Chain A
Amino acid sequence: MKDRLGRPPALLMVPAALAALLLLVPPVAMVASTSWSQLPEHLTSRVALDALRLSLVTSTVAIVFCLVLGLPLAWLLARVDFRGRGALRALVTVPLVLPPVVAGVALRSAFGRTGLVGEPLLAWTGFAFPFTTYGVVLAHVFVSMPFVVIAIEGALRSADPRYDDAAATLGATRWTTFRRVTVPLALPGVVAGTVLGWARSLGEFGATITFNGNYPGTTQTMPTLIYVTRQADQDAALSLSLVMLVVSIGVLVALRDHWLGTP
């Protein structure tokens, strides 16, 4: 590669190299310190399998909810002009910047046994979210939805809205247009947003543990298991972390056309 514009200055190259190292060294160190001989034993333990199964199930269910509810919200923000659209978009992004623990506290306030929604819900149905697998899903939906909505809204916005006009002049209702034109045109972005939200959901820790505690089999997901295992058995925590690393890299590979595809 020739630098027609001159050599890149050290003032930029040194911080760039440091940044790259800072991001690369921890995961590499993690792989390096994994105890490979104990790995099968760690990963096939009852607790680990339960947590892995719970993580996959709750994240997948959560992302289905995120998509079913978030895709229409993203469409609303991208395609319908209404008062307060900017405000709504800003509010949707709040859980993005909220510390996950705070998200858990907020979920408690709303869906806890004495919460704003939780108390009447409990009174009418006898059901409460906290400390159940349903609660885990709810927490996942809460933290992942903003990712899904923002990513999909961006994709919908970059799809030319004149295709919607064309569909309307041909006699299509807005629902038909949404189904047959808008979403198919934004499909790569919709898929990317979904995968991103799923990954966020899989890694969710703070809100889940605050809202649901840490009960093996019902609310203990991989991240919470890793956290408690680490206190007793460093090697087992490393093995479990390796699984998460593999899943994360899998997500990156799935998205490579979107993020890594650009030179």
Chain B
Amino acid sequence: MRRLVADLHVADRVRAAFTVEPGEVLAVIGPNGAGKSSLLHALAGLVDVDGTAHLGGTDLLAVPVRERRVGLVFQGQLLFPHLTALDNVAFGRRARGEDRRAAEAVARDWLERFGISDLADRKPHELSGGQAQRVAIARSLATDPDVLLLDEPFTGLDVSVQVALRIELGRHLRDFPGIALLVTHDAIDALTLADRVLVLDDGRVAQVGPPAEVAAEPRTAHVARLVGLNLVPQGGELISFTPDAVTVSLSEPEGSSRLRWHGPIATLAPHGDAVRLLVHASPDLLADVTPAAATELELVPGREVWLSAKATAVSRYGARDTGR
């Protein structure tokens, strides 16, 4: 198998260089507008792009879309509405010249693997969201792509359906010998499905690494928020800490070993057993307090509070590799 070495530039959207090993799943995360979908569409050949994307010795960008062997699972599935689930899954193989019987046999096999062979004769509008997404993934995998691109595969699905499909997809991705890129805005997708995570921020690569490392030492505010950490730039470094490491007080806290911030409460919401505050300090910070403390301190939106954290309770790491 071959590795993918890409250096892509989509005008006004994204500029990113990255490498994916065979059999590896790379999650691409970042806020809306960071260029995640543009990156996938560039690899699939659906948007104008400069650069290269070498898969082994071939530059994919020089290959016509239909010959690229890059399967794209679209956001919103885009199942052909006039074809049955079976015909949708068989479409790619038939389009590549396989005869109907052989293509349908492969399609049936894929529906079987996704546990939806009983839905073979249904049209897309007769499928639930989760079923349609399974058909869409099967449709891409049935063409035996070298590269599988998944664009927000769980968006718009019920939470329980997401959980089941995530487990299922994880199994298929482990069996998939090619290269997989998964665009998601959900930290749990990245943590459970990916071998590595690529963080896009404002069209640039902000961080690349194993999921656990990215989650522990996020370099962008977006990822910090996804994993529920506070992230504060300080000097040339970043410090991150959990909301429950923050102490809330009404007057400026004593003690020189504490880091401190000041600002009005933006929102309060129950979070597990605690109450989670979002405080408009610079930057915005999360703090967890007990319901008793919230009552005692009369915490309401708009109230000015002091936040502090022990210097020993934060992790401190370099802000390098930000791609800026």
Contacts and interface: CB of A to CB of B under 8 A. Distances in A.
Interface of A: 160, 162-163, 165-173, 176, 180-181, 184-185, 187
B313 interface: no
Given A167-B91, A171-B96, 9 more contacts: A165-B78, A166-B72, A166-B78, A169-B140, A170-B71, A170-B95, A170-B143, A172-B66, A185-B82
B210 to A, nearest CB: 29
Given A170-B91, A171-B95, A180-B91, A185 B81 contact: yes
Given A169-B44, A169-B46, A172-B66, A163 B96 contact: no
B74 interface: yes
Contact of A181 (B45, B80, B143): B80
A5 B91 CA distance: 51
B65 interface: yes
A147 to B, nearest CB: 25
A74 to B, nearest CB: 19
A172 B65 CA distance: 9
Contact of B143 (A171, A173, A187): A171
B95 A169 contact: no
B143 A166 contact: no
B95 A167 contact: yes
Nearest to B145: A169
A168 B91 contact: no
A165 B46 contact: yes
A165 B71 CA distance: 11
Given A162-B78, A163-B78, A173 B70 contact: no
Contacts of A160: 78
B67 interface: yes
A166 B139 CA distance: 10
Q: Which 9 A-B pairs have the closest CB atoms?
A: A170-B92, A172-B95, A168-B65, A171-B96, A166-B78, A169-B72, A184-B82, A171-B95, A171-B66
A171 B80 contact: no
The interface centre, meaning the residue of A160, A162, A171 with most chain B CB atoms within 10 A of its CB, is A171
A172 B103 CA distance: 14
Chain B contact patch, size range: 20 to 34
A207 B80 CA distance: 42
Contacts of B67: 171
Contacts of B72: 166, 169
Contacts of B66: 168-173
Contacts of B82: 184-185, 187
A13 to B, nearest CB: 41
A169 B91 contact: no
B80 A163 contact: yes
A171 B92 contact: yes
A116 to B, nearest CB: 40
8 contacts: A165-B46, A169-B70, A171-B143, A172-B66, A172-B95, A180-B95, A181-B80, A185-B82
Interface in B45-84: 45-46, 65-72, 74, 78, 80-82
Contacts of B68: 169
B73 to A, nearest CB: 9
A180 to B, nearest CB: 7
A169 B140 CA distance: 9
Contact of A176 (B45, B74, B95, B140): B95
Looking at A168, A170, A184, A185, the one whose CB has the most chain B CB atoms below 10 A away is A170
B74 A166 contact: yes
Contacts of B81: 185
Contacts of B74: 162, 165-166
B97 to A, nearest CB: 9
A165 B95 CA distance: 13
Contacts of A166: 72, 74, 78, 80
Contacts of A168: 45-46, 65-66
Contacts of A171: 66-67, 69, 92, 95-96, 143
A103 B69 CA distance: 51
B139 A170 contact: yes
A225 to B, nearest CB: 42
A180 B96 CA distance: 13
A50 B324 CA distance: 81
Contacts of A180: 91, 95
B71 A169 contact: yes
Contacts of B143: 170-171
A236 to B, nearest CB: 48
A19 to B, nearest CB: 38
A215 B78 CA distance: 55
A167 B74 CA distance: 11
A22 B71 CA distance: 59
A60 B120 CA distance: 39
Nearest to B92: A170
Contacts of B78: 160, 162-163, 165-166
A170 B95 CA distance: 7
Nearest to A172: B95
Contacts of A165: 44, 46, 65, 74, 78
Contacts of A181: 80
A23 B146 CA distance: 63
A181 B46 CA distance: 17
Interface core residue of B66, B71, B72 (most chain A CB under 10 Å): B66
Nearest to A168: B65
